[in-house]
Structures are given as C-alpha cells and as structure tokens.
Amino acid sequence: MDKKLRVAILGGGMFFEDVIGQSFVDFSRGGLAAALTSIGMSHWAPRVADVDVEVVAVGTRSQSRGTARKVADFFRRELPGCQVKPYYGDLVHEEILEKEKPDVVFVATPDHLHTPAIISALEHGAHVITEKPLCLKTVEADAIIEKARKKDLVVAVDMHKRYDPAVRDLMTNCLTKYEKIYRIRAVLEEPLTVSTEIFQWVEHSHPFAYVGSHWLDVVAHYLKVFPRSLFATGEKNLLVNWDKYVKVVAERTRRPLSSFPRQNSINAWDSLNVNITYDNGMRGDFNNAWINPPEFEGAVNQEIEVYGILGRGMVDQQDRGYREAVMGDGSRTRNPFFAGRIKNVQGYREVFGYGKASIVAGLLSICRVKFFGESPESLAGSYPDAASQRSVTMAIEAATVVAERNFKHFQKAGKTPVTAALSQDRIVIIDPYSQPAEEVIYRC
C-alpha cells in the first residue's frame, strides 16, 4: 500500500514558520516516526515509518499580503523540488479541495472562520487538523462532530498545552498526589502585538477563546470534568482607545507611528476573566489577555496552578530556568520546550517541542484511520478530537455572552449580575436585569 498524506494548509498562522511550517518540512523530509516519542506513541513508529507526507497547497483569503506565496516559497526553499501551489480567495478552501484533493487539511485561519473550512474539508473526504479553538459556537461544534462521525474522518485540534511536559506531568499526577482537587488557577496572556499588529480579526474573537481554550482543554482532558456554571467579566480600556494610546506606545517604544499597521480604535476585549464551577464542585479561574507590554520578559505569560486538599502544584513558564540578557533586547525568558530549533550535521533545521507534538498526534490518528482501518471513535482520548472540544466551545460561547452583558450592566448600574448554567444539551444565560431572567442561547 502506498502510504502518502497529501496536505493542504489554509492560512499562515502566527507560528507558521516557527512551528507549523517547520514541522511539516520535518515530516516531509524524515517522516512521522521520529516525533512519536513526544506523545508517548513510539510503539507506532515501525508501522508509520514509510508514510510519506507531502504539502501540496496553501491558501489564504487576501492576495495583497502575499501570505500564501510566502508560505509556498518557504517550503520550496526548505524542500528543493517540492511543488506547493499558492491559492487565494474568499472561498480558497473550496478551490483547493476541488483541484488538489488533499488527504489532510490543516486549518490555520482566524478563529471565526474555522467552521466553514472544516465542514467543507469533511464534505470532500479530507481529514482535518485545525488550530484552536475548534470554533466559537456550540451549534458549530455539533455540526463538525456530526459531519466527522458520518464521514468517518478525523478532526484533530492543535491543543498543544496537553503535550507540554511540565503541564502533562502535573495534571497526570495531581489526583493521586493531592487527592480531591478543589481549584484551578490558569493564566495565559499574549503580547500587545497580537491584538494590534499580527491579527486583523481580533474584533471577531477574544483572548479567552484564543488562548484560554488551551487551559479549558487541559482541565477537561486530564481531570474529566464538565463546566456547570460560569461567571465572566472583562476589560475594554486599551484597544477601544487604541487611536489615542498608539501614540503613547510609539513614543515609549521609540517606533515611528507609521510602523503601526492599525491606528484606529479596535472594538475588542483587552482581557477576560472567567470563573467556572465544574460538575465535581471544583472551581476554575481563567485569566486571559492579549495586551501584555512588549517589554515583558517572555513571549507570553502562562501559568497553571492546581490546588488539592493534600497538596498543590504550579507550572510557570518564566520559572523553567532559561533566562538571558541581550543588549538592546533586555532580559528575556525563552521557551524552547514549545518550539526549539536544532541543526543537524547535514545542516538541516528541525523543530522539537510540544508544538510539534500536537501536530503529530493528529497526523498519527489520521494514519491509523486511513491506513490501518481504525475508527476515529476508537481513538477518542488519544488525541484532541473534535468531540473533546465540545465543552470547551460551550464555555467560550457562554463566556462571550456573559462578559458582554456584565460589561454593559456595569457601565449602566455598576453591577455584574449575569451568569450562565451549562448542561450537555443547553446553555442558559441568567440575567436578573432582563425579562425573562433566563434565556436559552443554545439547545441541543
């Protein structure tokens, strides 16, 4: 049997060259087997050693920025002789699926555009690996899960914090060490450049969806819990006044104002704070932002702390031991555990770390279904599949509504009374200032 995976990539993604692109270069050059140790699946290495991975196309919506062409050039530069075709257009995924007929579609589009591309790929018989979050609405998650089930196809989500070795060790051992877990505190904050320069679509999502989804997945996966009630508030101070603050930032960072691509007001959240009570009574506190000052010592600020009745544990990226001071750049912490680089004796670059691990987990699941006849359902729990993201999506959708209503109520009356109640088949918003006081925003 000819074991080949023809891959199409939609979108460039913030970590394309550092993680996504370099990972697929590594898989194309050396296969999947070498990366399986990072996900504890090295026993599969002999069976997938002959799988050939080939990136055949990349697509983005706008041709003016030339992202697809740059990505194609990246692959041609790293893999001389490869034929990666760039595509553009609002329905670029449809054109690629029709013309290239890929086996796998990697979705790295903006958060709110994941669903159409995923559904279309499944309808064309392609397996999917998508960047997180899976989607922003529970009804969309249901549609994706059902379509994947009917087509017997894999939908994997790039939830790489599952594979962070420190997080994995904490979460797999905390129940036996600490016994009952009564609280989780999790923080993930992105730099200001994400919301003001890198992403043009921040008005369509928020930091809880974009990065809070990682911690939601970690908690749900390792502790097997489901969110029952939710409270959320957020801040809109910096981005909505970006037309004024951009001048302050330009002055303080000594950058010309013309170097900032966005100088208008940005109608988006600075940060969101979400409190969840899970079905075992445990409390989860999630704090997410994307306005961290560029001078912050790390690329991001991320930490998770687990509180139990007999112990507690914490993983803080800034405490992993890699710090350096560089003239003109200041003191910085580095995180090679996510996307470290190495150059082998032949001069080839390779990437290692839990960013790559998450991608290979999805590809291995696809191989097991496509080449070895297993069903996606039988692989549940071995990779971040679409079904595992349903509770994550429900929490994102509920927090989006609750935070917005509490923001408006606070502006008007100085109060934040809105909460949400969640069950497997519905999301109910509880707002004593509205009539009726309870509104079902999702029903299965």
The CATH code of the domain at 162-334 is: 3.30.360.10
Alpha-helix runs per DSSP H in 273-389? 336-339, 354-370
Percentage of residues in the chain having pLDDT higher than 90: 86
Per-residue model confidence as pLDDT tens digits over 339-386? 998 888 777 889 999 999 999 999 999 999 999 999 999 999 999 999
CATH 3.40.50.720-classified regions of the chain: 4-161+339-385
The number of helix segments (H) and strand segments (E) in the chain equals 14, 19
Cα separation, 130 vs 361, in Å, equals 12
4-161+339-385: CATH superfamily: NAD(P)-binding Rossmann-like Domain (3.40.50.720)
- DSSP 8-class letter at 55: E
Q: Which amino acid is at 171?
A: M
Residue 321's pLDDT band (cuts 50, 70, 90)? confident
Identify the three-state secondary structure at position 42. Answer: helix
Of 59-73, 92-106, 193-207, the range with the lowest mean pLDDT is 59-73
CATH 3.30.360.10-classified regions of the chain: 162-334
pLDDT (0 to 100) of residue 312: 97
Per-residue model confidence as pLDDT tens digits over 3-24? 999 999 999 867 787 899 999 9
Per-residue model confidence as pLDDT tens digits over 113-142? 999 999 999 999 999 999 999 999 999 999
Strands (DSSP E) contained in 139-282 are 155-158, 181-191, 227-235, 271-278
